Amino acid sequence: MRLAKVTLIWVALAAAICVPISAAALSPLLAWRGPVYILAGFAGIIALGLVLVQPLLIAGYLPGLSGYRGRRAHHWIGGALAVAVVIHVAGLWFTSPPDMIDALFFTSPTPFSPFGVIAMWAIFAVALLAALRRRLGLRTWRIAHMSLAVVIVVGSVVHGMLVEGPMETVSKAALCALVLAATIKVMADLRVWRKRTTSR
Amino acid sequence: MTTVVFNRRNLLAAGGTVLATGVSGLLLPARAQGIAPTPSMSGGSNNYRKGAPTVDRIGKGGFWMSGTVRRAGDGAPLANQRIQIWAHTTEGQEHEPQSHGATLTDKNGVFRLEMPQIIPIFGQPHGHLAYDSGEFMTVFLRPVMRSAKETSLEAHFVLQPA
């Protein structure tokens, strides 16, 4: 029974991330894209998958990765998320510099661009704050990180849903729904917003 | 799901245009007879290649880009105006020379150019059009298709003297 539950959780997580990636890999649109553009797109899809993993890790919901191991994995996945976003943006820049410049300067005609750019800056901000977290104090760090996490999740989900690209609609919507659900559940469970005395 | 979003947006845009036209027509009767010039759209000039050749068809065709060119103020159709068209299609990326071509308007100010199927690029299936011949002020348009499955797209220019 216990093993069945563990297996189910990991299979469900793998499916939630791998099904959208596989569906996108079958998209006919890829035939008309260059390798760099394809790489940039998949870096974005993988980043969205990592955004699902992050709250699950930090809350210790993933079997075998609770407590310290979960937090260590959360740190490393956070770094990987920042790298994936850099690849996403750099690849799109290479594919069409003027479109990427428009997006970064918030002058793009596409409604999803500002959501993606804001989420990108929030991801970079968390990475920077994480490096400085010992100087911030636990409570400040937590509030800053959780606020930015909300920006990252909402920005990423809206960005992803509005983009019309190789991602298949149903699997994309399911992944986005899971990202939102996981974030809400973890936020509620961790009670980080509640005042409490903390010691480090 | 994206289709719904685009439809709603287009509906809002169209509704807004109708409302704006109607309301400004009522509130500003002096301007009702003057047709306003089309402003350039943001991102419209992206990947423009000045001086692309006039062609009978871009690539193998299969998709139709059409529209009109009129003069601001009286709305008179403008004949023999050069309109350049480009997009990311099944035959090439937006910046590549083979994705670009130009055509001229007929005596009714209508242009129509066959090109390869436009496919979504940077998150939206869209085309680019430019008027950039000097006699009138330059205008860049970037119309978006309601669905990536559509096989035609329209864009309309109202030009003002340079």
The domain spans of chain B are 1-33, 34-159
Q: What is the pLDDT of residue A189?
A: 85
HEC string of chain A equals: CHHHHHHHHHHHHHHHHHHHHHHHHCCHHHHHCCHHHHHHHHHHHHHHHHHHHHHHHHCCCCCCCCHHHHHHHHHHHHHHHHHHHHHHHHHHHHHCHHHHHHHHCCCCCCCCHHHHHHHHHHHHHHHHHHHCHHHHCHHHHHHHHHHHHHHHHHHHHHHHHHCCCCCCHHHHHHHHHHHHHHHHHHHHHHCCCCCCCCCC
Residue B141 has pLDDT above 70, yes or no: yes
The secondary structure element, H or E, covering residue B160 is: none
Q: What is the pLDDT of residue A23?
A: 97
Residue in chain B nearest A173 by alpha carbon: B1
Minimal CA separation from A157 to chain B, in Å: 13
Cβ A112–B90 below 8 Å, yes or no? no
Q: What is the pLDDT of residue B25?
A: 45
Minimal CA separation from A56 to chain B, in Å: 27
Q: What is the pLDDT of residue A119?
A: 98
Q: What is the pLDDT of residue A200?
A: 44
Exposed, middle or buried, A193 (CB in 10 Å: 0-12/13-18/19+)? exposed
Asked which of B16-30, B45-59, B115-129 is least confident by mean pLDDT, the reply is B16-30
Q: What is the pLDDT of residue B5?
A: 44
Minimal CA separation from B137 to chain A, in Å: 21
pLDDT tens digit string along B25-54? Answer: 444 444 446 899 999 999 999 999 999 999
**CATH architecture, domain B34-159:** Sandwich (2.60)
Number of A/B CB contacts below 8 angstroms equals: 63
Please name the member of B1, B42, B88 whose beta carbon is closest to the beta carbon of A109.
B42
Give percent of chain B above pLDDT 90. 78
Q: What is the pLDDT of residue A73?
A: 96
Q: What is the pLDDT of residue A190?
A: 77
Phi-psi region of A51 (alpha: psi -120 to 50; beta: other; left: phi over 0): alpha
- pLDDT under 50 in chain A at which residues? 197, 199-200
Q: In sequence order, which residues have a C-beta less than 8 Å from that of residue B33 and are 6 or more positions away?
A: B74
> Which positions in chain A touch B88 (Cβ < 8 Å)?
32
Q: Are B117 and B97 in contact (CB under 8 A)?
A: no
B96 close to A (CB below 8 A) = no
Residue B7 has pLDDT above 60, yes or no: no
- Kindly indicate whether the ipTM for this predicted assembly is greater than 0.95, answering yes or no: no
Residue B10 has pLDDT above 80, yes or no: no
> Which positions in chain B touch A112 (Cβ < 8 Å)?
123
The mean per-residue pLDDT over the stretch B127-153 comes to 96
Cβ A110–B124 below 8 Å, yes or no? yes
Cβ A108–B90 below 8 Å, yes or no? no
pLDDT tens digit string along B60-108? Answer: 999 999 999 999 999 999 999 999 999 999 999 999 999 999 999 999 9
B94 close to A (CB below 8 A) = yes
